[in-house]
Amino acid sequence: MTKQKSRKARQPEARTRHDVAQGAKDASNQKARIACLSAALLIFLAIYLLRLDPVVGLFVDDAWYALLAKSLATGQGYQLINSPSPGILPVYPPVFPFLLSLAYRLFSKFPDNIWLLKSVSIAAMAGVGWLSSLHFTRDCKWPRLLSLLAALAIMLIPGLVFLATSSLMSECVFTLLQLSVVVVIEAGTREERRGWRYVLAGAALAAAAFLTRSIGLALIAACVVYLLKESRWKSALLFAAAVALFAGPWMIYARLHAPAPEQRAEQGGMIVQDYAVQFWQRRAGASSSGVIRSRELTDRLWSNAMKIVSNNAAMLFTPTFYRSPKISGEESLEKGDSEKVFSYVLSLLIVVGFAMSLRRKIMLADLVVAFTLLITIAWPWDTFRFLLPIAPFLLYYLIEALRGIHEFARRKLQVKLHHEPWRALMIFAGCLLALYLFDHAAYLRARGDLSPAEYLPWRAIYDENRAALDWISEKADADAVVASENPAMVYLYTGRKSVAIDDPAGNWENWKRLNVRYMARLSVFPAPDPGMDEGRFDMPFRSKGPLKLRVTDLGPKENRKPWNSFRSPGTIRLDDLK
C-alpha cells in the first residue's frame, strides 16, 4: 500500500515536470517562429523599399491603370479621360484601378504620389507571402520552416519585385486574390458544417480576381470543376451563382456601354478593343499585326508552349544566370531567349512535380495552373507575365519533384539517405532565396555606384521618355491632341488629350477633326524610322538617348496636307502592289 501511494504521488509530479518541459519547448518554438517571421518581414521591406523608384507608365497598361484611378478619384467615373470625347469605357476590368484610386484620393498630386500608388502592389506582395506560407503548411503539409523559406523566395522573385516597384501593373494584386481563393476554397472543403461560408467568400474573391485580370476566368472554372470533383454539387452551384452575382453587374454594364465603332476609331489601341477581336490578332491589341486563321492556332499554341518551356521557366526561377543584375526583373519584357538547356530541365522537374501532386490528390491549385496555362499558350501575347501569378504553385511542383527524386533514390536505388527529405528541401529553398537576395543586392549596388542613366537601363528608358513628355508639357499647344503609342502616359504627365497612334493614313481625316497636332513616339524599344510620310513634317524634339524618341509637329489642321501627299502623280508604292 505504501509503495502504491508513493507511485501515485510521483505520477502527478512527473506529469507536472513533463508539462513544464513541454510548455518551455512550445514557448521556445513560438519565439523562434516570431524571430523568423520578423526577419522575413524585415528582408521583404528592405528589398521592396530600396528598389522603389519613380517609374510609371512604360508598360503602357500601367499608365492606363493610373489614368483610370485618377478618373475614379476625381469623380469623373470609369472612363478614358485622356480622350478628346468623353464617356469612352475601357475594356480593362475595374478592380485594380479602384484600389489605386483609394490611394489617389489620399494624395492626388501626380507624379509625386507614385510611391503611394505602388504601395498597393507592395502590400499585396506581403499578403502573397503570408498566404503562400499558409497554403504550403495547411494544404501541402510542408514543415513550417520550409513553407516560410519558400514563401519568402516567392515574395523576392525579381519579376514580381520589378512589377511592384518599377511599374503599376496588376499582377501582384491578382496573385494575392488568386492565392486567397485557393486557400479559402481548400479550407471550405475541410469544413463540414459551415463550408458554405467559405464558398461565398471564395466566390467574392474569385469575382474580384476576374475583375482585376480577365484571365481570372481560369480561376473561376478551376473552382467549379474542383468542387464538382469533390462531389460538392451544392457548393459548386452556390459558387457559380455567387460569382455571377458579384461579377455579373459589371459584365452587363460593360456590354451595354461598350465603345461604339466611332469611339474605337477615335481612341484606338488595345484599351478599346474587345478581347474576342484581340484573340485573332497576331499580337493582341495591335491591329497592324494582322489576324490569323483558325488553322494557325496550333502554331500559336506550340510557339507559346515552347517559349514557356525553353525560356520562361529559367527566367522565373534562375534569372540571375542569364542577364545582368542591372536589368533585374526586366525578364518580364521577354527581350530574347536565354540558355535553353537549364530551362528544359526546370520545366521537366515542374511537370514531374505536377504529376506527383495529381497522383497524390488533385488540389485546386493543380486545376488553376492547368487552366491558366491553357489560356496563356492560346493568347497572342508574351507568356512570362502570365506565369508570375502562378509562381507559388510552380515552386511547389519544383520542390515536390526534388522530394520525389529523393524518395526514388532512397527506395528504388537503395541510396543511403535520411528518411525525411525536408532538410535537403529547406537547403534548396534557402539557396533559391540566396540567389534572389544576391540579384537584388547586385542591382542596388550597381545603382549606388553609377549615375541613374548608367546604373539602371529601365530608369534610363524612363528618363528618355520623360524628356519627350516634358517637351510636350512645356512647348505643345494646350488645346492640341497628341497621338502616341502610350496615350495614357501622355495625358498623365502633360495634361494633353491623347489618342493611339494606330494607322495615321487611315485616321488622318479623323485626326484633323480631333485637332491631333503632334505625334509622340514613346516606347521602351528604339522608335521606328519615320519614313517618308512622317519624315516630311517638322520634328521639334528628338531624344539624345539610344531609343531615338521624337515628337512630330503635324502643323495646323486648316492647311495640313494628306498623310501621303509626298507622292507625285503616277507614283506607285509597294503598298499599292499588295
Condensed to tens digits (0 to 9), the pLDDT of residues 172-196 reads 999 999 999 999 999 999 887 778 8
Closest listed residue to residue 358, CA positions, set 346, 369, 372, 343 = 369
Question: Is a pLDDT exceeding 80 seen at residue 575?
Answer: no
329 and 347 inside one domain: yes
Total-model pTM: 0.90
Question: Is a pLDDT exceeding 60 seen at residue 139?
Answer: yes
429 and 466 inside one domain: no
444 and 295 inside one domain: yes
Taking the CB of residue 455, how many other CB atoms lie within 10 A of it?
17
Question: Is a pLDDT exceeding 60 seen at residue 343?
Answer: yes
pLDDT (average), residues 95-110 = 95
Question: Is a pLDDT exceeding 90 seen at residue 303?
Answer: yes
Q: Which of 449, 474, 494 is the last residue of a domain?
A: 449
Rounded to whole angstroms, the Cα distance separating 142 from 153 reads 15
pLDDT (average), residues 404-411 = 80
- So what's the pLDDT on residue 24? 57
Q: Where is average pLDDT lowest: 356-370, 466-480, 553-567?
A: 553-567
Q: How confident is the model at residue 446 (pLDDT cuts 50, 70, 90)?
A: confident
462 and 443 inside one domain: no
Rounded to whole angstroms, the Cα distance separating 210 from 378 reads 18
- Assigned domain for 431 exists: yes
415 and 481 inside one domain: no
Rounded to whole angstroms, the Cα distance separating 268 from 83 reads 10
Q: How confident is the model at residue 573 (pLDDT cuts 50, 70, 90)?
A: very low
Residues facing residue 516 across a β-bridge: 481
360 and 306 inside one domain: yes
Residues facing residue 482 across a β-bridge: 498, 518
Question: Is a pLDDT exceeding 70 seen at residue 124?
Answer: yes
Instruction: Write out the three cell numbers for 549.
Output: 524618341
Q: Going by C-beta distance under 8 Å and a sequence separation of 6 or more, which residues neighbour residue 110?
A: 66, 70, 492
Taking the CB of residue 248, how many other CB atoms lie within 10 A of it?
12
Rounded to whole angstroms, the Cα distance separating 126 from 44 reads 8
- Assigned domain for 472 exists: yes
Where is 470: in which H helix or E strand? helix 457-475
- Residue type at 344? Y
Q: Which of 424, 449, 474 is the last residue of a domain?
A: 449
- So what's the pLDDT on residue 457? 87
Backbone angles phi, psi at 549, to 5 degrees: -70, 160
Rounded to whole angstroms, the Cα distance separating 104 from 443 reads 29
- Assigned domain for 6 exists: no
pLDDT (average), residues 245-265 = 94
- Assigned domain for 567 exists: yes
Rounded to whole angstroms, the Cα distance separating 91 from 255 reads 10
Q: What is the dihedral of CA 129, 135, 141, 143, to 10 degrees?
A: 10
- Assigned domain for 80 exists: no
Q: How confident is the model at residue 568 (pLDDT cuts 50, 70, 90)?
A: very low
**What domain count does the chain have?**
2
Q: Do the Cβ atoms of 557 and 515 come closer than 8 Å? A: yes
Q: Write the pLDDT tens digit of every residue in 468-492.
A: 999 999 999 899 999 999 999 999 9
469 and 390 inside one domain: no
Q: How confident is the model at residue 16 (pLDDT cuts 50, 70, 90)?
A: low
393 and 300 inside one domain: yes
359 and 503 inside one domain: no
Alpha helices in 135-212 (DSSP H): 144-155, 158-165, 171-190, 195-210
- Assigned domain for 507 exists: yes
Angle between helices 364-378 and 217-229 (to 10 degrees): 140
287 and 410 inside one domain: yes
- So what's the pLDDT on residue 4? 57
391 and 509 inside one domain: no
391 and 469 inside one domain: no
Rounded to whole angstroms, the Cα distance separating 495 from 479 reads 10
Q: Which of 427, 449, 471 is the last residue of a domain?
A: 449
- Assigned domain for 233 exists: no
Domain that holds residue 433: 282-449
Q: Find where cell 518599377 sits.
A: 166
Angle between helices 95-106 and 171-190 (to 10 degrees): 120
- Assigned domain for 236 exists: no
Q: Find where cell 493611339 sits.
A: 500
